[in-house]
Amino acid sequence: MTMLEVHDLTRTFGDRRAVDGVSFQAPGGMLTGFVGSNGAGKTTTMRMMMGVLSITSGEVRFGGAPVTRADRRSFGYMPEERGLYPKQPAIDQLVYLARLRGIPAATARTEAMEHLDRLGLAERAKDHVEKLSLGNQQRVQITAALMGRPRALILDEPFSGLDPAAVDGMVDLLREHTARGVPVLFSSHQLDLVERLCERLVILRAGNVVADGTPTELQQAGTVRHRLVLDSDAGWVRGVPGVHAVDVDGPTALVELADDATTQRLLATAMERGQVHELSPVRPSLAQIYREVTA
Amino acid sequence: MTTLTQSPSNAPVQDPPDDGTRGAWLLVAQREIVTRVMNKAFVIGLLVSLVVIGLLAAFFTWQSSRVDTYTVAVAGTDATAVGSVTGAAELAEAENGSTELELLEVADDDAARAALSTGDADVWLHPGDGGWVLAGEGQPDGTVSRLVGTAVEQQVLAANAEAAGTSMDALSEGAALTTEALDPQAMGEDTVFFATFALSFLFFAGAIGSGMMIASSVVEEKQSRLVEIIATAVPLRQLLAGKILGSSVIAVGQNLLFAAVGLVAVAASPISIALPALSTSLIWFVVFFTVGFLALAALYAVAGALASRSEDLQYTSTPMTMLVMGVYFLTFSASGTFQTVLSYIPVANVVAMPARVLSGETTWWEPVVSLLILGAFAVLALLVSERAFRGALMQTGGRVSWKQALRAEA
């Protein structure tokens, strides 16, 4: 398992620090989601990791050592706002890009045809890319990144503009690579997707990492709330010391509790007043966590 | 580990001694050439140009080998008139054979006028007040007037000489003017002018066409971010080298093709005597163009890298377009000292020096020195362009200036 990691990575544009001391790990064999609002520094970080943009300070490590040019040459990369050569057949550009990475022409052709075949694009391999639908163009782009058994994958918004079925198809492809022990780092705006797919998650805000871990770790680290369901109006919980009522709706209240003692006190009070149907912890969704840490 | 300075491994795509990317520039060049040759617009443009060159050559050949026949009407059997027409016909034949005169003898003046109006005769030669008149339906053709005029003069002078008791030969003794070409291969001024114009145009079309080709191929990759994928695979220097090589092969190949068609056309034409001198000049031109285009291609590649979308190209390529157009206009009209100066200034010397070679006014070392100057310029242009290219290519969002590009680290 080869780990891809960044240490204290910083990039300034003039006076602006676009990425400010970012450190995180993308372990081999896992899908790591890279989340953050527009301008948080995701693309800048990924471009520095690929060596497309020079690093102001900090470093990128691969397999425990500073990343080399040869390492990067073996990485699969999808830049943001990408395209292809519009007037060249799909198969030709896949072979060209693979050959630039040192893959022999015959091998590249065979592999590209296999990929296109799987994506149902085999008979369109000789069509100019501009004649393919946007979704199919995106499939060709990801194929370009997956050619030649890459040793790591860095994908900037790989799923943007794809329908759910196409996303599932792509995820299956990516899983084949994590199964080989390859680290896969991808950025996305679609939190539900990241929550469903990723083994790890890195959240960036204004050039800083504000959360980093497995989805479960992040949920546990987030503020735990409790739901209380009574047989009568629950408005009185607002007056209990140590209880912060987030929302009260008739007999149901969503509360944040200061400590365990508060929990017991709230339960005892509720039972004195009538029947208690439910008192249960509510795990925050990633969307909630995201809103909390990026607020 | 925090390092304030950049560790080498984290530097942007730099060039290691060898990591299996050494042949990448050939791959890039190959793609540039194949893409260009498969491009319908390019192929159609090339074919149209070849057809135009062929048609022009055919037209000039036809034009210069065409024989115009004029019929001169003479009334009665006036010995002087008949003799003048015969004499004029001999003069015409002696000149270059492109004009022929025929004699039409008619009964009287009315018949001559009738012949003019029906078109049976083109002109009518008859005596007038104290001389001779050459009449046409409109103004008679200039060449015919000159030929007939000379012949009439000779006839009349001969008659006058005889009357004065001497002879034409005695009168005109020592007055003959003959022309002689010391170097039979030396060009006529017209030929030099047209050949220079053709060289200027070949330069202009080749430089603009292939220059814009490399610029748009660079911006296409920049706009689609393909360049980011390519940059992680091969050093940008190799990408630039491949693109310059590819577009140079196209540009030089295209000019060789045009030159070959042009030479074949010249060989088939009456000015085929100029062929050896034209060939020498064309060989120089191809050598100069090859070196000069390397520099232009590098500069055009930067124009592509400075743009962020293809729409920006017309702005970023303006300096190069002005340069090429300037060279075009200056070189085809230049002469004398100005042309001599131009023949040493890159990139005007690409046209000006071969043009001077053509007019035969250069000694052997002049094109050599000029070529060395051009070579030095090309090396300089390549070095500067390589830096600007790497500096500009990864900058996204808006046009980049030369200054920003040269200052940028990456």
Residue B340 has phi, psi (to 5 degrees) of -60, -45
CA B56 to centroid of chain Cα atoms = 12
Q: Where are the beta strands (DSSP E) in chain A?
A: 4-13, 16-26, 31-36, 57-62, 65-66, 75-78, 152-155, 184-187, 200-205, 208-213, 225-230, 243-249, 252-257, 276-282
Tell me if residue A193 falls in helix, strand or coil. helix
- The residue among A205, A220, A235 that closes a domain is A220
Instruction: Check whether B3 has a pLDDT greater than 60.
Output: no
Packed helices B365-393 and B275-306: angle between N→C axes, nearest 10 degrees: 20
Residue B105: both structure tokens together: 């003898």
User: What is the rounded average pLDDT of the residues A173-185?
Assistant: 94
Residue A240 sits in the same domain as residue A177: no
User: What is the rounded average pLDDT of the residues B210-237?
Assistant: 93
pLDDT digits (tens, 9 = 90+) for A12-65: 988 889 999 999 999 999 999 999 888 899 999 999 999 999 899 999 999 999
pLDDT value, residue A165: 86
Q: Say which residue, A257 or B16, is predicted with more confidence.
A: A257
Residue A103 sits in the same domain as residue A174: yes
Residue A190 sits in the same domain as residue A47: yes
* Identity of residue B101: L
pLDDT value, residue B232: 92
User: What is the rounded average pLDDT of the residues B105-115?
Assistant: 87
Query: What is residue A123's DSSP assignment?
Result: G
ipTM associated with this complex: 0.85
Rounded CA-CA distance B194/B187 in Å is 11
Query: What is residue A121's DSSP assignment?
Result: -
Residue A12 sits in the same domain as residue A107: yes
Query: Do A69 and B13 lie within an 8 Å CB cutoff?
Result: yes
Q: Say which residue, A203 or B97, is predicted with more confidence.
A: A203
Residue B66 has phi, psi (to 5 degrees) of -70, 140
pLDDT value, residue B194: 82
- The residue among A220, A239, A267 that closes a domain is A220
Residue B333: both structure tokens together: 């009209």
Residue A158 sits in the same domain as residue A233: no
From the list A55, A88, A100, the residue facing B230 with the nearest CB is A100
Rounded CA-CA distance B228/A83 in Å is 11
pLDDT value, residue B15: 43
- The residue among A192, A220, A248 that closes a domain is A220
Q: Where are the beta strands (DSSP E) in B203-323?
A: none
pLDDT band at B88 (very low <50, low <70, confident <90, very high): confident
pLDDT digits (tens, 9 = 90+) for A99-137: 999 999 999 999 999 999 988 889 999 999 999 998 899
Residue A196 sits in the same domain as residue A228: no
Distance from CA of B351 to the nearest CA of A (A): 35
Burial class (CB in 10 A: 0-12, 13-18, 19+), B51: exposed
Residue A158 sits in the same domain as residue A204: yes
pLDDT value, residue B328: 93
Look up the CATH number of the domain holding residue A209.
3.40.50.300
Distance from CA of B143 to the nearest CA of A (A): 58
Which one, of B142, B143, B144, lies nearest residue B125 by Cα?
B144
Residue A195 sits in the same domain as residue A256: no
pLDDT value, residue A281: 86
Rounded CA-CA distance A176/A195 in Å is 19
User: What is the rounded average pLDDT of the residues A271-280?
Assistant: 90
Residue B189: both structure tokens together: 């001024």
Residue A109 sits in the same domain as residue A38: yes
Compute the mean pLDDT over every residue in chain B, rounded to the nearest whole number.
85
Residue A163 sits in the same domain as residue A69: yes
Rounded CA-CA distance B408/B399 in Å is 14
Domain, as residue range, for A257: 223-294
CB B130 within 8 A of CB B78: no
From the list A59, A84, A86, the residue facing B7 with the nearest CB is A59
Residue A120 sits in the same domain as residue A209: yes
Residue A109 sits in the same domain as residue A206: yes
User: What is the rounded average pLDDT of the residues B26-47?
Assistant: 91
Tell me if residue A34 falls in helix, strand or coil. strand
pLDDT digits (tens, 9 = 90+) for B160-189: 888 888 887 887 788 777 777 666 556 677
Rounded CA-CA distance A104/A96 in Å is 10
What chain B holds in terms of domains, given with CATH numbers, is: 24-56+187-407 (no CATH), 65-168 (3.40.190.10)
If DSSP states are collapsed to H, E and C, what string results for A138-157?
HHHHHHHHHCCCCCEEEECC
Residues of A in contact with B394 (CB under 8 A): 47, 52-53
Look up the CATH number of the domain holding residue A265.
3.30.70
A interface toward B at CB cutoff 8 Å? 7-8, 47-48, 50-60, 66-70, 72-73, 75, 77, 79-88, 96-97, 99-102, 144-145
From the list A59, A72, A81, the residue facing B225 with the nearest CB is A81
The number of distinct structural domains making up chain A is 2
Query: What is residue A131's DSSP assignment?
Result: G
Entry pTM:
0.79
Burial A260-269 (b: 16+ CB within 10 A, else e): eebbebbeee
Rounded CA-CA distance A69/A75 in Å is 10
Q: What angle do CA B398, B402, B405 make, to 5 degrees?
A: 70
Residue A37 has phi, psi (to 5 degrees) of -75, 175
Query: What is residue A128's DSSP assignment?
Result: B
* Residue entry with tokens 């208690």: A276
pLDDT value, residue B13: 44
**CA torsion sign, B268 to B271 to B273 to B278?**
negative
Instruction: Check whether B21 has a pLDDT greater than 90.
Output: no
Closest residue in B to A144 (Cα–Cα): B229
